Amino acid sequence: MGRRKRLVSSSSSNPQQNNNRQPQQNNNPQQQSPDPPIAPPKWGFIFKLSLFSIPYFYLIFFRFSIDSELRRSIIINAGLSLAGFFVTVRMIPVVSKLLLKRGIYGYDINKKGTPSGKVKVPESLGIVVVTVFSVVVILSQSSNFTANSNRHAVYDTALECISFMTFLGFVDDVLDIPWRVKLVVPSIAALPLLMSYAGHTTIVIPKPLVPHIGIEILDLGWIYKLYMWLLAIFCTNSINIHAGLNGLEVGQTVVITYAILIHNIMQIGALTDPEYKLPHVFSIHLVQPLLATSLALFSYNWYPASVFVGDTYTFFAGMTMAVAGISGHFSETLLIFFLPQVLNFLLSLPQLSGYIPCPRHRLPRFDDQTGLLTGTNDGTLVNFFLRNLGPKSEKSLCIYLLVFQGIACGFGFLLRHFLAGWYK
Amino acid sequence: MGTRKRLVSSSTSEPSSSSNPQQTTQPNNPQQQQQSPDPPIAPPKWGFLLKLSLFSIPYFYLIYFHFSIDSELRRSIIINAGLSLAGFFVTVRMIPVASRYVLKRNLFGYDINKKGTLQGNVKVPESLGIVVGIVFLVVAILFQYFNFTADSNWLVEYNAALACICFMTLLGFVDDVLDVPWRVKLVLPSIAALPLLMAYAGHTTIVIPKPLVPHIGIEILDLGWIYKLYMGLLAVFCTNSINIHAGLNGLEVGQTVVITYAILIHNIMQIGASTDPEYKLAHAFSIYLVQPLLATSLALLSYNWYPSSVFVGDTYTYFAGMTMAVVGILGHFSETLLIFFLPQVLNFLLSLPQLSGYIPCPRHRLPRFDPQTGLLTGTNDGTLVNFFLRNLGPKSEKSLCIYLLIFQGIACCFCFLLRYLLAGWYK
């Protein structure tokens, strides 16, 4: 379970050839050779993606008349996120060198047999992302509020959950902890969120169902809190298992966060009650830095990947989106954005539960002659696509999957539009 | 700077003794120990812990008998103590488990202070601070669940505290794994302390000690932003000072245990002596974070005490330093905390010439070990450890550590004495 993101195994690498320690019995022949630097970030790719920011800023500035103070805080946060983007881009190569020195790397399984299959790819670059993200969120928190302590609580809770989750992710990357622990500890990491959630625990019944059920609003009480808790666990782990191709983990996060931002802006524009706007503003303050730092990582991780993201990143991204969805009161919408992850989870259930034997990696099979991936019988969305679309190259398969993610998000918006009375 | 806690170097070990055979495309590694299981680490030193636990008697005496503490507050403290005790047992249980994983991933070192003897060849797992950090956070989060209602003001500060501690522990572990340059090590705690600085809604005034009032002219001085700067520097200082006052088996954890015990006594005494409920809450808040720290640290000490079966790593020293700084700041007793930290301050002052580069600074500033006699001799490096050795003569590692910890205890008592003498210095 829990695929190792095309890691053959990062622990089996040859020992850290570091050159500044006392000479112990060293049997690796490459002791003093400097590691080759990682490939530069893919600026052209990022530039194409940044065109998506145009509709987003159009919505902020023109389409909706958003209260200027709110808009100012969003723009400040966007500015800090942009700075965070550049810092991350700058820091990833630096940290990669340190990671390689310490033997935290893997080989790209989907290139095995080709020359790039022998390149040591540094792992766990999620730590750069989370560090920059946390600093941006902390600074943005300080620039936006005076000592209005109650608002600080929700930021601190978010930071706490996210840091704890990332810490576990990094421990997992380094130590490779068993999957039972990976399930239990996130549930504890999500607790602060539950406790500081002071919002309503009601759900609005979609208009078409009201005549059948008889009530418009249903108060779920503790069941809602249970649902939030499970959502946090689900989000963190689901991104982790929908992985295995260069750029898939970061790519899905980028798509979903973009959808989240559009949703937040539309809610801020459409709602009139300021109390309801605030949760969405908070979500924006968390998600903009996530998107910016993820884009920076994406520029290195997109095919062909020069760095791997590690469980550090997937846990971090999943938890951040869960926190944004729960604190922003749009967790049901978030679940629809997560539709591909849900499908992947359902497809994976037989193997994860042990009903069908579960191999260590459930990745597709790579043919080094043709350079294409072929689907195996494993129950993942990646293999499902390959079985139905035929053998594909890694890059185009990833693009298909990300487009599917985008379609799911679009479907989410469409669904909300039809169930017109479903605004909360 | 930053002694690597008697790490020869965790990375120059023989090639990965990790055992998974599935590395198909591995280069050339003669992995001589590929499938051999690592020997388990030594069991915890229960007798030692039992002796230490006798100290809990005066503590509980103070809680129950000496002061009449509000029963609800007392109940919360006892619940927290219970959770901390559970955390202690979980930590004791988990350290050997984590050690196996850590060894598998080559995060270990050799004990420099045993080089030349048989024990100098044993691979000692590093960074066991992660177990302490994780159990501490779990206990703290669960306690929050049992104790605070959803809109208490203290929830805000508690969350800020946990956010700082969490982030700092993460950075500490990153440092252990990646070996971050020391300039970065200085900056990291100040970043991790930011949530705290912003959530700090307390006064930024200091009370001038009574004897000085006639000279200065005012009783209370409002420092404003300077106070916040001081808080940030305190966080940097606490985390790094424990890090450099290290190098002997059990020294880092031992000093933390002594200081946390003193903090708890101080908190209880303040709760008992004061009448202001907000003030009591501040100290109760400190107790809620320090009890778990003490309990999990004791669990770690049972393995780390001489002779060490595990090393604590920067993860632990950062985590402990930050937790103590956080409680000192939020509990409003940071000046008292600084006096508890007197040995660390002295060590820092002694280290300044070398840290600033004025005198050349070697990679390790540890004393010299003689495998024949088994004693440590002081070098000319500027650390408290070497200072003690130069003045007391060669000592065994264990007795030197005991001397240093007693000195730590004396510094804490000195602080209590000072507060008693400057009788009007209560805040």
Mean pLDDT of the region A402-411: 92
Q: What is the rounded CA–CA span in Å between residue B272 and residue A317? A: 46
Vertex B176: Cα angle to A163 and B342 (nearest 5): 90
Residues of chain B neighbouring A14 (CB-CB closer than 8 A):
15-16, 26-29
Query: Environment class of residue A335 by beta-carbon count within 10 Å: exposed (0-12), middle (13-18) or buried (19+)?
Result: middle
**Cβ B6 vs Cβ B311: under 8 Å:** yes
At B179, give phi and psi (nearest 5°): 60, 70
Q: In terms of Cα–Cα distance, which of A179, A182, A81, A173 is closest to A125?
A: A173
pLDDT tops 70 at residue A124: yes
Residues A199 and A320: their CA atoms lie apart, in Å, by: 18
Which of A11, A20, A28, A123 is the best residue to mutate to test the B interface, defined by the most B CB atoms within 10 Å of its own CB? Answer: A11
- In this complex, do A159 and B171 lie within 8 Å of one another by their Cβ atoms? no
pLDDT of residue A198: 63
**Which pLDDT score is estimated for A294?**
94
* DSSP codes joined into one string, A352-376: HTTSS---S--PPEEETTTTEEE--
pLDDT tens per residue, range B315-328? 999 999 999 999 99
Q: Are B150 and A198 in contact (CB under 8 A)?
A: yes
Do the beta carbons of residue A194 and residue A225 sit within 8 Å?
Answer: yes
Of residues A162 and A116, more confidence is placed in: A162
CA atoms of A22 and B112, how far apart (whole Å): 12
Greater confidence (A390 vs A84) lies with A84
Q: Point out which residues pair with B207 in neighbouring strands.
A: B220
Mean pLDDT value of segment B356-379? 81
Is the Cβ–Cβ distance between B392 and B410 less than 8 Å? no
Beta bridge partners of A372: A367
Confidence of residue B293 (pLDDT cuts 50, 70, 90): very high
Of A50-59, A160-169, B287-296, B297-306, give the lowest mean pLDDT range: A50-59
- CB-CB: which of A15, A177, A189 is closest to B106? A15
Write down the ipTM of this complex: 0.81
A237-251, B81-95, B188-202, B259-273: which range is least confident on average?
Answer: B188-202
pLDDT digits (tens, 9 = 90+) for A370-379: 878 888 888 8
Q: Hey, what are A270's tokens?
A: 């459409």
Contacts of B195 in chain A (CB under 8 A): 138, 141, 152, 155-156, 159
CB B313 within 8 A of CB B172: yes
Distances in whole angstroms, Cα of residue B241 to Cα of each of A17, A330, B175, B176, B252: 30, 45, 16, 17, 10
Cα separation, A297 vs A31, whole angstroms:
29
CB B199 within 8 A of CB B156: yes
* pLDDT of res. A205: 67
Using alpha carbons, select from A42, A88, A147 the residue that is nearest to residue A293. A88
For B104, which of A11, A99, A171 is closest by C-beta distance?
A11
In angstroms, what separates the C-alpha of B305 from chain A's closest C-alpha?
24
Position B254 confidence tier, pLDDT thresholds 50, 70, 90: very high
Report d(CA A159, CA A323) in Å as an integer: 9
Among left, alpha and beta (phi > 0; psi -120 to 50; other), residue B6 is left
Q: Residues A387-418, buried b or exposed e (16+ Cβ, 10 A)?
A: eeeebbebeebbbebbebbbebbeebbeebee
Among all residues of chain A, which has the CA nearest to that of B156?
A: A153
Contact A8 B22 (CB under 8 A): yes
Of residues B146 and B370, the one with the higher pLDDT is B370
Coil, helix or strand for B141? helix
Rounded CA separation B131/B341 (Å): 25
Cross-chain CB nearest to A156 (options B11, B160, B174): B160
Q: What is the pLDDT of residue B34?
A: 42
Q: How distant is the Cα of B362 from the closest Cα of chain A, in angstroms?
A: 13
CB contact under 8 A, B166 and A157: no
To the nearest whole Å, the CA of A211 is away from the closest chain B CA by: 35
Angle at A219 between CA A213 and CA A222, to 5 degrees: 130
Nearest CA in chain A to B172: A167
**Cα B149 to the center of its chain, rounded Å:** 30
Which residues of chain A have a CB within 8 Å of the CB of B134? 167-168, 171, 185
The residue of A98, A137, A163 whose CB has the most chain B CBs within 10 angstroms, and thus the best one to mutate to test that interface, is A163
Mean pLDDT of chain B: 80
Is the pLDDT confidence value at A292 over 90? Answer: yes
Q: Which residues of A242-280 are buried (b: 16+ CB within 10 A; e: fewer)?
A: bbbbbbbbbbbbbbbbbbbbbbbbbbbeeeeeeebbbbb
Residues B80-90 have a mean pLDDT of 93
If one compares B67 and A289, the residue with the highest pLDDT of the two is A289
What single-letter amino acid sits at A412?
Answer: G
Contacting residues of B for A197, CB less than 8 Å apart: 150
For A202-222, write each residue's pLDDT tens digit. 776 666 777 777 777 777 778
Nearest CA in chain A to B21: A12
Helix and strand numbers, DSSP H then E, in chain A: 16, 6
Test B155 with A25 for CB contact under 8 angstroms: no
Q: Do A12 and B30 touch (CB under 8 A)?
A: no
Phi-psi region of B42 (alpha: psi -120 to 50; beta: other; left: phi over 0): beta
Distance CA A217, CA A225 (A): 16
Residue B60's CB: how many other CB atoms inside 10 A?
12
* Whether A15 and B18 lie within 8 Å, measured CB to CB: no
Residue B4 pLDDT class (50, 70, 90 cuts): very low
The alpha-carbon gap from B23 to the nearest alpha carbon of chain A, in Å, equals 6
Rounded Cα distance between A345 and B163, Å, is: 31
Nearest chain B residue to A197 by CA: give it: B150
Residues of B in contact with A115 (CB under 8 A): none
B177/chain A closest Cα distance in angstroms: 7
Question: How far A416 CA lies from chain B's nearest CA (Å)?
Answer: 31
pTM of this prediction?
A: 0.84
C-beta of residue A257 within 8 angstroms of C-beta of residue A356? no
Is the per-residue pLDDT at B272 higher than 60?
yes
For residue A68, the distance in angstroms to the closest alpha carbon of chain B comes to: 24
Question: What local confidence, expressed as pLDDT, does residue A146 receive?
Answer: 52
pLDDT at B268 over 80: yes
- Here the tokens at position A93 are 């190569």
Closest CA to B320 of B233, B398, B254, B406: B254
- Predicted confidence at residue A36, as pLDDT, reads 60
Q: Do B163 and A166 touch (CB under 8 A)?
A: no
Nearest to B30 among A27, A135, A171 (CB): A27
Residue A185 backbone phi and psi in degrees, to 5? -70, -35
Q: What percent of chain B has pLDDT over 90?
A: 27
Q: Please name which of B113, B328, B330 lies closest in space to residue B203, comparing C-alpha atoms.
A: B330
Contacts of B160 in chain A (CB under 8 A): 152-153, 156
Of A348, A321, A326, the closest CA to residue A409 belongs to A321
Candidates A111, A171, A229, partner chain B, best to mutate (most B CBs within 10 A): A171
Mean pLDDT within A133-152: 73
- Residue A424 pLDDT greater than 60, yes or no: no
Candidate from A8, A107, A191 with C-beta closest to B145: A191
For residues B109 and B316, is the Cβ–Cβ distance under 8 A? no
pLDDT at A199: 64
Q: What is the DSSP letter of A199?
A: S
Q: Residue B111 pairs with which residues in a beta bridge? A: B7
**Confidence category of residue A15, pLDDT binned at 50, 70, 90:** very low
Is the pLDDT at B388 greater than 70? The verdict is: yes
Q: How far apart are CA A399 and CA B71, in angstroms?
A: 63
Q: Is the pLDDT of residue A398 over 80?
A: yes
The answer to whether the CB atoms of B178 and A102 lie below 8 A apart is yes
Please judge whether A16 and B20 are an interchain contact, meaning their C-beta atoms are less than 8 angstroms apart: no
Do A8 and B25 count as a contact with CB atoms less than 8 A apart? yes
**Sequence-distant (≥ 6) Cβ neighbours of residue A192 within 8 angstroms:** A157, A160, A161, B141, B144, B159, B162
- Name the 3-class secondary structure at B72: helix
The answer to whether A12 contacts B23, with C-beta atoms less than 8 Å apart, is yes
pLDDT of residue B201: 64
> Using the 8-state DSSP alphabet, how is residue B111 labeled?
B
Q: Do B195 and A155 touch (CB under 8 A)?
A: yes
d(CA B366, CA B247): 6
Q: Is the pLDDT of residue B426 over 50?
A: no
B18 pLDDT band, cuts 50/70/90, is: very low
Put simply, the answer to whether A8 touches B23 (Cβ < 8 Å) is yes
Residue in chain A closest to B100 (alpha carbons) equals A175
Please tell me which residue of chain A has the smallest CA distance to B27. A14
Q: b/e per residue, B264-292, with b = 16+ CB within 10 A?
A: bbbbbbbbeeeeeeebbbbbbbbbbbbbb
Q: What is the pLDDT of residue A149?
A: 52
pLDDT of residue B63: 74
- pLDDT tens digit sequence for B127-176: 999 999 999 999 998 888 777 654 466 777 888 899 999 999 998 998 88
Any idea how long chain B is?
Answer: 427
Segment A117-131 shows an average pLDDT of 89
Q: What is the pLDDT of residue A204?
A: 66
Q: What is the pLDDT of residues B40-72, one digit of tens each?
A: 678 888 888 887 877 777 777 777 777 777 777
Nearest residue in A to B180, CA atom: A98
